[in-house]
Amino acid sequence: MPKVLLVDDSGVTRKFHSYVLKSAGFEVVEAVEGAEALDLLFLHADFDCVIADLNMPGMDGITLIRKIRESEAFEDLPIIVITTLDKPEDKRRGIEAGADFYLVKPVDPKLLIDSTELAIGE
């Protein structure tokens, strides 16, 4: 079962995305913000994908992505951004930081599943 680290400060969004992913056969571990996500990532190191919002308190998604990419152990870990920021410059910043996919909320559940499967290579 592929393991996904889901990072979003919105409890409602996090629970919905978690439900969608779990119903599609993914194991999901949730984090509320970037620092917590990094702790989980470095502690367990067995995630197949990270899905992160950009707007979060404390460490935002761009900083999280950059910190993940700084680690040689996670340089190839698939990262999907799911955010409300939909301007071209926002998308550019996310991809330049190291995200593999950039999705805009609200995300269709099938697109979330398909993007996660594609990112992981299933």
pTM equals: 0.95
Contacts of 70 (CB under 8 A, 6+ apart): none
Structural domain span for residue 79: 3-120
pLDDT in tens, 12-45: 999 999 999 999 999 999 999 999 999 999 998 8
Q: What sign does the CA torsion over 91, 100, 77, 16 have?
A: positive
User: In the predicted model, is pLDDT for residue 82 greater than 70?
Assistant: yes
Residue with tokens 């697109």, as numbered in its chain: 111
SS3 100: coil
Parallel/antiparallel/unpaired status of strands 79-83 and 101-104: parallel
CATH number for 48: 3.40.50.2300
In this structure, what is the dihedral angle of CA atoms 54, 59, 64, 66, given to the nearest 10 degrees? Answer: 100
Q: How many domains does the chain have?
A: 1
